[in-house]
Copies of this chain bind each other. A is one copy, B any other.
Amino acid sequence: MPQETPSARRRQIVDTAIELFGKWGFTGTSVDQIAAAVGMKKGSLYYHFESKQEILDAIHAEVLEALFTQAGFAAGVITQAGLDPCEQLRQVIENHVEYQWRNVRYLVVYDRERHLLPASARRKAHEQETEYTEAVVEILRRCQESGCVDATLDLEVLTYALFGALTTLRRWKKARLASRARRHEIATNLHALFTIDHVHPQSPG
């Protein structure tokens, strides 16, 4: 068997911990179980991570990284010259669907164990989430201004409904989200739900 690099080993430990934390929770999973599932001795695991908390911190660091990228994406979309709000909204939805799919396993652990994050990391996560939310609200606001989203709808309800639809995507049957084409379809449908179709407007019945 070829020798694995320390970083590959680290990766394997983190991935295994994500599986187990997702199933049994952080407090319900022991370092022994993680080591056994990876197929290594507990002592070898401690070579890579000093404690179970340090593994959780590594998972949360990846979530923070993903949140940072996502907030950056939305901020970039807003400032892109010549992009109309309706198209900005489409790009943000498309990106969020992909983000949910890519990070589906992290997000299960993050949602359940975020109260175990150290205060500084929790503050950072909150900052990124706020930055992202504000960017999305700004895009929705511009959409209402431009007539691409129904201006009579409450902006707060629109925002929460959009985030609700996007952040619960991971509850879908995994097989449905595994297809790139289906994810694109989901994004297109969500975009259509929130926007007014200017090409084929619905006529009154």
Contacts and interface: CB of A to CB of B under 8 A. Distances in A.
Given A165-B164, A169-B164, A193 B23 contact: no
A104 B166 CA distance: 20
A176 B93 CA distance: 25
A147 B205 contact: yes
Q: How many copies of this chain does one complex carry?
A: 2
Interface string A9-53: 000000000000001110110000000000000000000000000
A153 B153 CA distance: 20
Interface stretch (A60-68, A69-77, A118-126, A183-191): A183-191
Contact of A192 (B152, B168, B169): B152
Given A157-B189, A160-B168, A205 B194 contact: no
A19 to B, nearest CB: 13
A23 B198 contact: no
Nearest to A194: B193
22 contacts: A25-B25, A25-B27, A112-B112, A147-B205, A148-B205, A150-B193, A152-B200, A153-B189, A153-B192, A154-B185, A154-B189, A158-B189, A160-B168, A160-B172, A161-B164, A163-B168, A164-B167, A198-B204, A198-B205, A199-B204, A201-B202, A201-B204
